[in-house]
């Protein structure tokens, strides 16, 4: 291990809580986001346990409604949105572009505090008795009828929103202004491009959801009719405002994971990402088109039929850039020199699950079919394929890829691969049956359900158990590696990119002097990689 690095320059709680180092802030996020993930997972566990049987036997209806709401709110606002950008984006963007830190280190720390305040408000809403509106907060239920702690939870999401606005701002300015000499736009790692696109959505979209929450609070507290028709409001208006943010928000959640995916596929195939500029621009295309498709959540909401048509065709268009990325990733492996360390197992898993998640999105964007599928378990299955199969796989892949950089040590790769495979199997067992239950007609957010749907729910709960085991394993071996892992050295994966030229863990200012970058991104040569391998191990066949 290097003698001095960002982790050991200073000790003590204060040195962490007042740090301006983007890497330390990333570690703060890593801990807090992991705690929220565990908490969200706990509520998912309660939900799945209740659904083993069709009747209501384990929880009360009220507790069930609060459990699925807590699961959704925690996972969306406090895990999926910050997970990849706030941890890995924070840690890596400055290093990847050759900067000492983000443009606004203090604002970066402020973002974390806002996130923590938001999360604490969310947790206090749960401790105070819970929220039962679902993460979507649809009025008039949320504004006039629910007896639960809507205000606290709403306030939590509102404040966490500012955390993400500020993070987005920080990234945009950093990427524009702080690239090292020679690090031109088209030499940036695709991870940076993905975060750039994400940051634009955070900046432009999040204020809208903040306003929406404020309007909801005003109606609930003061009885001003905004969404409730009995006092002169319009409930469909809320849905427009909500999805105007919340559809782009799914891209806030998935784009950074796509960025990770590009890094992993390139590194472990020893190939430049195929169609680099297409992959880069598809991130921007997704960010832009993603803003005009929100009405696909509302085909049966009472919105006009013609609005539905427009939103549907735009939704079909937003599928294209995702398809482009997928094909390019797959083709990156062609003529590669491919190895299968843990991060690559995650990358392969991501690719497969994302294909299913993306294509089932077409089922839902197709109005004639969405009428049947809307608000059923088919939707639940679809977005878990994207959010868990995509984002969480990307998150786990990123964690296993960058952990040696962040901690300076290697985790046991065998355990890593095993847990990745357990997660893959558990994931499919959990969520694939939900497609079928959904097509059969099982509505979501059902505490009790018709026995027709029973077998699919049993499979799903069994799968969730396997999934939970898979997720818990890294906790142990990562913790173990923190102390006993083999020192990683600057570049344990033989990867290209500025982040692999610094020591692991890096020093506080990342580089001793401002680096100059003269290479294209992913300047790999698979033949050379093979030659090197042969020198070291001889050829297998």
Partner 1 sequence: MWDFPFLPNQASTFAAEVDAFYFALVGVTAFFTIAIYAMIWWFSVRYRRGKKADRSNAPTSNHLLEAVWIIIPLGISLAIFGWSAKIFFEIKTPPQDAMQVHAIGKQWMWKFVNEDGKYEVNELHVPVGRAVEIKMISQDVLHDLYFPAFRTKQDVLPGRYTTLWFEATTPGTYHMFCAEYCGLLHSGMIGKVHVLTQDDYDAWLADAGGSATASSGGGSGNALVDGAKLFEEKVCHTCHKSEATAIAPTLVGVYGTDVQLQDGTTVTVDDAYIRESIKNPGAKIVAGYQPAMPTYEGQITEEQIVQLIAYIKSLK
226-265 binders of Cu ion (CB under 5 A):
247
How many residues belong to the site for partner 1 (CB under 8 A)?
103
Q: Which of residues 379-408 bind partner 1 (CB under 8 A)?
A: none
Task: Report the residue from 224, 445, 482, 489 that binds partner 1 according to the rule CB under 8 A.
Answer: 445
Q: In terms of Cα–Cα distance, which of 515, 513, 512, 509 is closest to 21?
A: 509
The torsion of the CA quartet 305, 310, 311, 316, rounded to 10 degrees, works out to 130
Cβ proximity to partner 1, 103 vs 333, nearer residue? 333
User: The tokens of 420 are what?
Assistant: 């990745």
Q: Which of 61, 120, 214, 479 binds partner 1 (CB under 8 A)?
A: 61
Nearer residue to partner 1 within complex by CB, 272 or 496: 272
Of 16, 15, 30, which Cα lies nearest the Cα of 86?
A: 30
* Cis peptide preceding 505, ω within 30 of 0: yes
Tell me which DSSP letter residue 180 carries: P
Binding region for partner 1 (CB under 8 A) out of 35-43, 172-180, 222-230, 474-482: 222-230
**Among 132, 219, 263, 499, which residue sits at the site for partner 1 (rule: CB under 8 A)?**
132
* Residue 57 interface partner, choices Cu ion, partner 1, none, CB cut-off 5-8 Å depending on type: none
10 vs 532, which CB is nearer to partner 1?
532
Residue 141, binding choice from Cu ion, partner 1, none, Cβ under 5 to 8 Å by partner class: partner 1
Picked from Cu ion, partner 1, none, the partner binding residue 300 (CB below 5 to 8 A depending on kind) is partner 1
By the 8 A CB rule, do 475 and 414 touch? no
Quote the tokens at residue 379: 């939707």
Cβ closest to partner 1, residue 140 vs residue 259: 140
The entry of partner 1, Cu ion, none near residue 247 (CB within 5 to 8 angstroms by kind) is: Cu ion
d(C-alpha 245, C-alpha 318), whole Å:
16
> In this structure, are residues 301 and 316 in contact, taking their beta carbons and an 8 Å threshold?
no
Calpha distance 82→166 (Å, rounded): 12
Among 272, 296, 297, 405, the residue binding partner 1 under the rule CB under 8 A is 272
Task: Establish whether the linkage from the previous residue to 140 is cis, with ω within 30° of 0.
Answer: yes
Q: What is the DSSP string of 81-135?
A: HHIIIIIIIHHHHHHHHT-SS-S-HHHHHHHHHHHHHHHHHHHHHHHTT---STT
**Binding partner of 480, given Cu ion, partner 1, none, CB within 5-8 angstroms per partner class:** none
CA Rg, the chain, in Å?
A: 23
Query: Which of 58/439 has CB closer to partner 1?
Result: 439
Contact between 274 and partner 1 by CB under 8 A: the answer reads yes
The minimum distance between CB 246 and Cu ion, in angstroms, equals 7
Instruction: Return the DSSP state at 485.
Output: S
Binders of partner 1 among 460-499, rule CB under 8 A? none
Stretch that binds partner 1, among 39-47, 106-114, 167-175, 368-376 (CB under 8 A): 368-376
CA distance 121 to 124: 5
From the CB of 306, what's the least distance to Cu ion, in Å?
19
Nearer to partner 1, 35 or 237 (CB): 237
Which of the choices partner 1, Cu ion, none does residue 9 contact, using the CB cut-off of 5 to 8 A by kind?
none
d(CA 329, CA 498): 22
Dihedral pair phi/psi, residue 96, rounded to 5°: -65, -30
Nearest-10 Cα torsion for 387, 116, 167, 514: -110
Q: Which stretch binds partner 1 (CB under 8 A): 85-93, 152-160, 176-184, 442-450?
A: 442-450
C-alpha to C-alpha distance for 52 and 57, rounded to whole angstroms: 10
Our CB check for partner 1 shows the closer of 87 and 279 to be 279
Stretch that binds partner 1, among 90-98, 115-123, 209-217, 435-443 (CB under 8 A): 435-443
Token couple for 511:
């580089």
- Shortest Å distance, C-beta 312 to partner 1: 6
Q: Which residues bind Cu ion (CB under 5 A)?
A: 247
């Amino acid at each position: 291990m290097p003698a001095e690095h960002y982790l050991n320059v200073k000790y003590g709680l204060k040195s962490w809580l007042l740090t301006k180092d983007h890497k330390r802030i990333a570690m703060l996020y890593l801990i807090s986001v992991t705690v929220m993930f565990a908490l969200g997972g706990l509520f998912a566990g309660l939900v799945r346990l209740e659904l083993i049987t069709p009747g209501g036997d384990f929880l009360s209806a009220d507790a069930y409604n609060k459990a699925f709401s807590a699961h959704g709110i925690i996972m969306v606002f406090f895990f999926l949105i910050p997970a990849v950008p706030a941890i890995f984006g924070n840690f890596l963007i400055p290093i990847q572009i050759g900067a000492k830190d983000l443009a606004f280190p203090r604002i970066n720390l402020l973002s974390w505090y806002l996130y923590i305040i938001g999360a604490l408000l969310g947790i206090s809403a749960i401790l105070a008795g819970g929220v039962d509106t679902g993460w979507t907060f649809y009025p008039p239920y949320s504004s006039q009828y629910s007896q639960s702690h809507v205000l606290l939870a709403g306030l939590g999401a509102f404040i966490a929103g500012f955390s993400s606005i500020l993070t987005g701002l920080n990234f945009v300015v950093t990427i524009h202004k702080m690239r090292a000499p020679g690090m031109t736009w088209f030499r940036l790692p695709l991870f940076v491009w993905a975060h750039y696109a994400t940051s634009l959505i955070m900046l432009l979209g999040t204020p809208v959801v903040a306003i929406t929450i404020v309007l909801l609070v005003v109606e609930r507290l003061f009885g001003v009719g905004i969404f409730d028709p009995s006092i002169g409001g319009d409930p469909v208006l809320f849905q427009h405002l909500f999805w105007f943010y919340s559809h782009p928000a799914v891209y806030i959640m998935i784009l950074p994971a796509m960025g990770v995916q590009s890094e992993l596929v390139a590194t472990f195939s020893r190939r430049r990402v195929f169609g680099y500029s297409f992959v880069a621009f598809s991130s921007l295309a997704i960010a832009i088109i993603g803003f005009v498709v929100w009405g696909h959540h509302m085909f049966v909401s009472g919105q006009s039929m013609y609005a539905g048509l427009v939103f549907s065709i735009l939704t079909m268009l937003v599928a294209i850039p995702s398809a482009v990325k997928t094909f390019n990733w797959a083709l990156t492996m062609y003529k590669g020199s491919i190895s299968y360390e843990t991060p690559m197992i995650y990358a392969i898993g991501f690719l497969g699950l994302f294909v299913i998640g993306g294509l089932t999105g077409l089922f839902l964007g197709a109005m004639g079919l969405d009428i049947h599928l809307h608000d059923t378990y088919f939707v639940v299955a679809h977005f878990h394929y994207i959010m868990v199969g995509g984002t969480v796989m990307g998150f786990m892949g990123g964690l296993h890829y960058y952990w040696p950089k962040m901690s300076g040590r290697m985790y046991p790769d065998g355990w890593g691969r095993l847990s990745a495979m357990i997660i893959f199997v558990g994931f499919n067992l959990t969520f694939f049956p939900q497609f079928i239950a959904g097509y059969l007609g099982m509505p979501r957010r059902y505490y009790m359900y018709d026995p027709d749907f029973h077998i699919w729910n049993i499979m799903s709960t069994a799968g969730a158990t396997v999934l939970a085991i898979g997720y818990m394993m890294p906790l142990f071996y990562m913790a173990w590696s923190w102390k006993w892992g083999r020192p990683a050295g600057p570049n344990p994966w033989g990867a290209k990119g500025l982040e692999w030229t610094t020591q692991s863990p890096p020093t506080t200012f990342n580089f001793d002097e401002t680096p100059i970058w003269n290479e294209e991104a992913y300047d790999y040569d698979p033949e050379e990689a093979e030659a090197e391998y042969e020198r070291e191990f001889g050829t297998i066949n």
